[in-house]
């Protein structure tokens, strides 16, 4: 069996030497001591001579040996005081990642794990390193990557042609940010707090407009006032209302409104049929009226439940839902017309040839399909 005494190690890292290690409760510690002499150091403030006035010990987390088997690095280092200005400072620990209590190689390892898009929680589970430290390394790695990307694009004298602007929620809908993307390269080129027109104005104030001289089109939500600023700052760029927002808006304001109006019609028809039954109504007619009222209620409830069926793209529907959709559209011509227009609108975004767009035969085919049936 391997026991601690059988293992001897010697490690060195610049002025720090390690000849010893400890294992306590599955936690291993490498013990480093400094061999630096005060004659090798000068005061970082005035360049004067210094002396050691104290010794200090810093513990850093390193890469664990195995899962749940942490490795610590304990570094005994000097505190110096200057003979000239009397200021004190700590010896620099070369293996310590700045602003953290971990080693450089642990930071490098975390950074590599994050590059594989592992969530912070997972990296915390694997490394045993605190969530806040991982987040800090993540921010630094992203900033480094962004600088590198910026330089790469600058070197190529790259100018974006197609942009998209949109808002997104931070903190579950309590605050928002505005984001500008380069659609060709897939780069996020600007992010600012808020989602108002003024938030987007900052993008133009903070960006060199010469860099945007080649922009041909900007995709956006039709409801935000982004178009006003694009017309002002990029007068040559086309404004494109993107499919996602158009579809969502149409689903809510047109399909949703027509569906609810049709549902209300069924509900009031059912009520009228039920109210028309009096004590004088012959039993046979009474049965027929009740049956009709029940049918109206069924149509009402089917429409109330059809929100997602109507909003889902036709080709993504299951065969059962497709059958349900066709039954609804057959019974409701207004809804059928609106639905066909939605499908047409979506198909417009898939066209690549502008000539097809102005061909009325193509444009109305979907509508006709539903009107005939
Ligand atoms: Zn000094």
**CA 217, CA 231: separation in Å to the nearest integer?**
11
Distance 81 CA to ligand 1 centre (A): 8
**Among candidate residues 307, 305, 309, the one with its CA nearest the CA of residue 318:** 309
For residue 84, the model assigns a pLDDT of 95
Distance 59 CA to ligand 1 centre (A): 27
SS3 172: coil
CB count within 10 Å of CB 350 equals 7
Distance 348 CA to ligand 1 centre (A): 73
**CA 87, CA 185: separation in Å to the nearest integer?**
51
For residue 229, the model assigns a pLDDT of 94
Average pLDDT of span 141-160:
89
Distance 96 CA to ligand 1 centre (A): 24
Distance 53 CA to ligand 1 centre (A): 14
The answer to whether residue 370 scores a pLDDT higher than 60 is: no
pLDDT digits (tens, 9 = 90+) for 161-185: 999 999 988 877 678 999 999 999 9
Q: Are 134 and 92 in contact (CB under 8 A)?
A: no
Percent of the chain with pLDDT over 90: 53
| Sequence-separated (6 or more) residues with CB below 8 Å from residue 260 | none
The answer to whether residue 342 scores a pLDDT higher than 60 is: yes
For residue 372, the model assigns a pLDDT of 45
SS3 205: helix
Average pLDDT of span 343-370:
65
Distance 288 CA to ligand 1 centre (A): 104
Written as six digits, the tokens of 202 are 């900052």
Pairing outcome for strands 50-61 and 217-220: unpaired
The answer to whether residue 363 scores a pLDDT higher than 60 is: no
Written as six digits, the tokens of 334 are 């207004």
**Among candidate residues 341, 274, 335, the one with its CA nearest the CA of residue 304:** 335
pLDDT band at 369 (very low <50, low <70, confident <90, very high): low
Distance 88 CA to ligand 1 centre (A): 8
Q: Are 224 and 246 in contact (CB under 8 A)?
A: no
Enumerate the β-bridge partners of residue 61: 72, 102
Average pLDDT of span 53-68:
92
| Sequence-separated (6 or more) residues with CB below 8 Å from residue 324 | 302, 306, 309
DSSP 99: T
Distance 15 CA to ligand 1 centre (A): 22
The answer to whether residue 311 scores a pLDDT higher than 50 is: yes
**CA 199, CA 179: separation in Å to the nearest integer?**
10
Distance 130 CA to ligand 1 centre (A): 36
End-to-end CA distance of the chain: 83
- Ordered strands of the 217-220 beta sheet: 187-193, 175-182, 162-170, 217-220, 238-241
pLDDT digits (tens, 9 = 90+) for 106-137: 999 999 999 888 999 999 999 999 999 999 99
**Among candidate residues 262, 356, 341, 247, the one with its CA nearest the CA of residue 301:** 262
Domains of the chain: 8-96 (no CATH), 162-241 (3.30.420.10), 250-372 (no CATH)
Q: For residue 154, with 0-12 CB atoms within 10 Å meaning exposed, 13-18 middle and 19 or more buried, which class applies? A: exposed
Tracing tokens 């780069």 back to the chain, one arrives at 187
pLDDT digits (tens, 9 = 90+) for 214-250: 999 999 988 778 999 999 999 999 999 988 888 888 9
- 41-51 b/e (C-beta count within 10 Å ≥ 16 → b): bebeeeeeebe
Distance 64 CA to ligand 1 centre (A): 39
Q: Of 228 and 352, which is predicted with more confidence?
A: 228
Q: State the maximum Cα–Cα separation within the chain, in Å, rounded to a whole number.
A: 117
**CA 248, CA 242: separation in Å to the nearest integer?**
10
Distance 264 CA to ligand 1 centre (A): 85
């Amino acid at each position: 069996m391997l026991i601690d005494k059988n293992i001897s190690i010697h490690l060195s890292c610049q002025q720090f030497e390690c000849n010893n290690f400890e294992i306590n409760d599955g936690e291993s510690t490498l013990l480093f001591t400094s061999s630096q002499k005060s004659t090798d150091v000068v005061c970082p403030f005035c360049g004067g001579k210094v002396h050691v006035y104290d010794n200090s010990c810093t513990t850093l987390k390193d890469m664990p040996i195995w899962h749940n088997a942490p490795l610590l690095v304990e570094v005994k280092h000097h505190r110096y005081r200057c003979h000239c200005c009397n200021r004190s400072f700590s010896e620099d620990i070369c293996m310590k990642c700045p602003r953290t209590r971990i080693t450089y190689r642990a930071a490098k390892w975390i950074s590599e794990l994050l590059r594989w898009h592992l969530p912070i929680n997972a990296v915390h589970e694997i490394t045993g390193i605190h969530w806040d430290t991982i987040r800090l390394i993540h921010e630094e790695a992203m900033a480094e990557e962004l600088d590198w990307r910026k330089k790469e694009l600058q070197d190529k004298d790259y100018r974006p042609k197609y942009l998209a602007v949109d808002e997104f929620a931070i903190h579950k809908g309590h605050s928002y940010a505005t984001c500008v993307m380069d659609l060709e390269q897939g780069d996020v080129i600007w992010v600012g707090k808020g989602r108002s027109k003024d938030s987007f104005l900052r993008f133009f104030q903070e960006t060199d407009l010469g860099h945007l001289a080649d922009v041909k089109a900007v995709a956006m939500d039709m409801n935000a006032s982004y178009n006003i600023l694009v017309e002002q700052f990029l007068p040559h760029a086309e404004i494109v209302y993107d499919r996602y927002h158009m579809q969502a808006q149409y689903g809510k304001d047109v399909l949703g409104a027509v569906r609810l109006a049709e549902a209300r019609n069924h509900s009031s028809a059912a009520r009228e049929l039920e109210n028309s039954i009096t004590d004088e109504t012959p039993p046979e007619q009474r049965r027929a009226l009740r049956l009709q009222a029940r049918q109206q209620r069924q149509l009402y409830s089917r429409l109330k439940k059809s929100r997602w069926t109507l909003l889902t793209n036709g080709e993504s529907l299951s065969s059962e839902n497709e059958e349900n959709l066709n039954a609804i559209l057959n019974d409701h011509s207004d809804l059928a017309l609106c639905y066909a227009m939605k499908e047409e609108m979506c198909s417009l975004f898939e066209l690549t040839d502008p000539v097809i767009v102005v061909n009325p035969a193509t444009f109305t085919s979907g509508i006709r399909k539903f009107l005939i049936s």
